[in-house]
C-alpha cells in the first residue's frame, strides 16, 4: 500500500494517483504547495509544486470505473466504456493544460495518469505536441512507481502585439 492512498478506492482513482505523485515529487526535491481535494472534485489545479524557482502545475486524472461510485446509482454499471471515458478525461485535461499555458506562460505544466494502455496509446500519439508545448507526462503504476516519459519544461512564448490581438 502507498502512503496517502484511500484503500476503499481503486489504485487508479484520481486521489490515489495524486497521493502517489505527491510522494514521488517530494522525494525528487519538489515542494508541493497545493493539492486539490479530489474527493470533493474541487475545481482548479490538482497539484502545484516548486523547486529552485520553478513552478509546476499538474492536472491529475484517474481511470474510469465500470460502475457508478456515487449517488443513487452507486454500484450500477455505467453505459460508457472506461476506455472511451478515459479519452474524454484526457482531452479535458489537455484543454486545462492549454488554458494554464496561456494564463502562466512561465509555468511548467504536466499531466499525471494511471498507467493504462488507453492513456499510453494517447500519449504515444500526442508526444510531439506535448513536447512542443513543454507539457510533461507522469505515469503512475499500480505498484506505486512513477515514470516521466515526456519531461515538462518552461517554454518561451513571444509577446503578442496589440494590433495582432485586435485582428482576432
Q: In degrees rounded to 5, what are phi and psi of residue 118?
A: -55, -50
Q: What ranges make up the beta strands (E) of the chain?
A: 31-35, 47-51, 54-60, 108-114, 135-140, 146-150
Counted domains in the chain = 1
Q: Is the Cβ–Cβ distance between 92 and 46 less than 8 Å?
A: no
CA distance 16 to 107: 24
pTM over 0.75: yes
Calpha distance 121→19 (Å, rounded): 24
Work out the angle at residue 42's Cα, subtended by the Cα atoms of residues 40 and 46, and round it to the nearest 5 degrees. Answer: 120
For residue 1, tell me if it sits in a domain.
no
Per the model's pLDDT, the better-predicted residue between 6 and 114 turns out to be 114
Residue 2 belongs to some domain of the structure: no
**pLDDT above 70: percentage of residues in the chain:** 85
Instruction: Flag whether pLDDT at 1 surpasses 50.
Output: no
73/23: higher pLDDT: 23
Where residue 100 falls (left for φ over 0; alpha for ψ -120 to 50; beta otherwise) is: alpha
62 occurs within a structural domain = yes
pLDDT band at 137 (very low <50, low <70, confident <90, very high): very high
Q: What is the pLDDT of residues 10-39, one digit of tens each?
A: 899 999 999 999 999 999 999 999 998 877
Residue 44, pLDDT > 70, answer yes
Report yes or no on 9 lying in a domain.
no
Range of the domain at 112: 14-166
Tell me whether residue 139 is in a domain: yes
Amino acid at each position: 500500500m502507498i502512503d496517502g492512498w484511500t484503500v476503499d478506492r481503486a489504485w487508479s482513482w484520481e486521489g490515489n494517483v495524486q497521493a502517489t505523485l505527491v510522494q514521488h515529487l517530494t522525494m525528487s526535491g519538489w515542494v508541493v504547495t497545493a493539492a486539490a481535494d479530489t474527493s470533493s472534485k474541487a475545481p482548479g489545479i490538482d497539484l502545484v509544486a516548486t523547486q529552485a524557482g520553478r513552478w509546476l502545475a499538474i492536472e491529475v486524472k484517474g481511470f474510469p470505473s465500470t460502475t457508478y461510485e456515487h449517488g443513487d446509482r452507486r454500484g450500477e454499471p455505467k453505459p460508457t466504456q472506461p476506455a472511451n471515458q478515459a479519452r474524454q478525461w484526457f482531452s479535458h485535461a489537455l484543454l486545462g493544460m492549454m488554458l494554464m499555458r496561456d494564463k502562466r506562460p512561465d509555468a511548467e505544466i504536466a499531466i499525471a495518469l494511471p498507467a493504462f494502455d488507453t492513456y499510453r496509446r494517447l500519449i504515444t500519439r500526442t508526444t510531439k505536441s506535448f513536447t512542443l508545448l513543454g507539457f510533461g507526462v507522469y505515469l503512475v503504476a499500480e505498484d506505486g512507481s512513477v515514470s516521466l516519459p515526456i519531461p515538462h519544461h518552461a517554454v518561451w512564448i513571444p509577446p503578442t502585439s496589440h494590433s495582432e490581438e485586435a485582428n482576432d
